Amino acid sequence: MSEDYHRNNPSDVIVEQMVLIDIRNMLQSMGKDIKSFPLPEIDNTYDDACGVPREIFEESNIESTEDDVVLSKSLNIEQRAAYDEILSSIDSNDGGLFFVDGPGGTGKTFLYRALLAKVRSHNKIAVATATSGVAASIMPGGRTAHSHFKIPLTIDSGGYYSFTKQSGTATLLCTASLIVWDEVSMIKKQAVEALDNSMCDIMDRPDLPFGGKTVVFGGDFR
């Protein structure tokens, strides 16, 4: 793990600290604490994230381009209606659940990019994810749902995702103002139900869909 850091830092002390910070971040993602293992102490002066979970740090550093920021001015009537309704839901305390439906090429991704840019421009966290890697790659900061939510390979009805309440993933989802999941029509319903169960659990709001978060699904059942 240290070889990449050695290319830029000749100091063994700095390289060791960078590797330890990487290990700590990975363990946090799994809901574990590096202090439980016999490893050297971490000097936080070398930590760019200042102890903030890696997931939060990475999402907070996604910058919207000027092109994305002005997309909202080019929305058509239907996109504008969805855009305004979703933003209104984010401002409410009870969140909302939306499904953006339309064949390929009708502007679903255009709407997602406008929403993500708007939310992030207010220094809020927006999680962009998709079932397929191709769909995820065309959204700023997009990642696959399996990567973002730690979806297990096999999942049963009534299940939960594998992250713990103390993990970086749980902290990210609690902090996020908006969750966008594109191509959701390609995944098993149990995976969506498990996200609902997990969100209700970590938010301690079992009476609201997805624990009261604003969640935007998108896809094409055609």
Q: Choose among 103, 88, 55, 78: nearest CA to 178.
A: 88
Residue 222 is predicted with a pLDDT of 85
Class of domain 60-219: alpha beta
CB 200 within 8 A of CB 154: no
**Burial of residue 69, with CB atoms counted within 10 A of its CB: 0-12 exposed, 13-18 middle, 19 or more buried:** middle
Per domain, the residue ranges of the chain are 3-51, 60-219
Q: Give CA angle at 134 (151, 160), nearest 5°.
A: 10
Q: Map 40-103 to HEC letters.
A: CCCCHHHCCCCCCCHHHHHHHCCCCCHHHHCHHHHCCHHHHHHHHHHHHHHHCCCCEEEEEECC
Instruction: Quick: pLDDT tens for 105-163.
Output: 888 999 999 999 999 988 899 999 999 889 899 898 898 988 888 887 787 787 788 77
Determine if the pTM surpasses 0.75.
yes
Break the chain down into helix, strand, coil percent, rounded to 5. Answer: 50, 10, 40
Residue 88 token pair = 């209104």
Percent of the chain surpassing pLDDT 90 = 36
